A = this chain, B = another copy of it.
Amino acid sequence: MKKNGEDRRTAKTRASLHQALISLILRKGYDSVTVQDIIDEANVGRSTFYSHYTGKEDLFRKGFDSLRQLLGEHQNRALRSRAGVKDRILAFSRPMFEHAADHKEVYQALVGNRGGMVALYQIQRFLTELVRADLTATLGADKSNTGQRELVIQFVVGAFMAVLTWWLDHKARIPPERIDAWFRSMAMESILSIG
């Protein structure tokens, strides 16, 4: 099963670089990882790196994008298989916790204090879209002229990221379905109280 026009070398190089970045983030935090570190860890020439990516952030973004795509597929799969759940409020939560459990290392490299501002900002933006769509689907469009709906979205996103981070760094592992239940029962009340 050969890919058309995909040199094995480039694939291997890119994989090495992504893996190296994740390892290094977990080891010393995003901010203090240098391109030098990455190419050393990945055993890749300096010029090769720059022929693939414009810099550390570019490499990071590409990796984040593919993870996000995987998550998207998992979301669809989950929502399709569990019938009747699709229209439940905050349906994004469960699949996301599951996905995080399946890719714990990567998620830890992203959400904690290890991941940099770039990571946090990406995730925040992504989640905001997710939650906005979710609430629009379950509660309908926002009719009030004030920014109440937007406020609720930010509230939920912030809370979710905090819970996710805490859960990932927590020693005792709570199963995804339980943390999801906790989060949703808390968030639900908030939403219903205003939104």
Contact = CB atoms under 8 A, between A and B. Distances in A.
Contact of A117 (B31, B163, B166): B31
A158 B162 contact: yes
Given A31-B31, A116-B117, A117-B31, A163 B186 contact: no
Contacts of A29: 117
A14 B192 CA distance: 48
A155 B147 contact: no
Contact of A159 (B121, B158, B165, B188): B158
A193 B185 contact: yes
Interface in A100-119: 113, 116-117
A132 to B, nearest CB: 13
A99 to B, nearest CB: 19
A17 interface: no
A154 interface: yes
A93 to B, nearest CB: 13
Interface in A150-195: 150-152, 154-163, 165-166, 170, 172, 179, 182-183, 185-194
Contacts of A121: 113
Nearest to A186: B190
A120 interface: yes
Contacts of A189: 189-190, 192-193
A16 to B, nearest CB: 26
Interface of A: 29-31, 113, 116-117, 120-121, 147-148, 150-152, 154-163, 165-166, 170, 172, 179, 182-183, 185-194
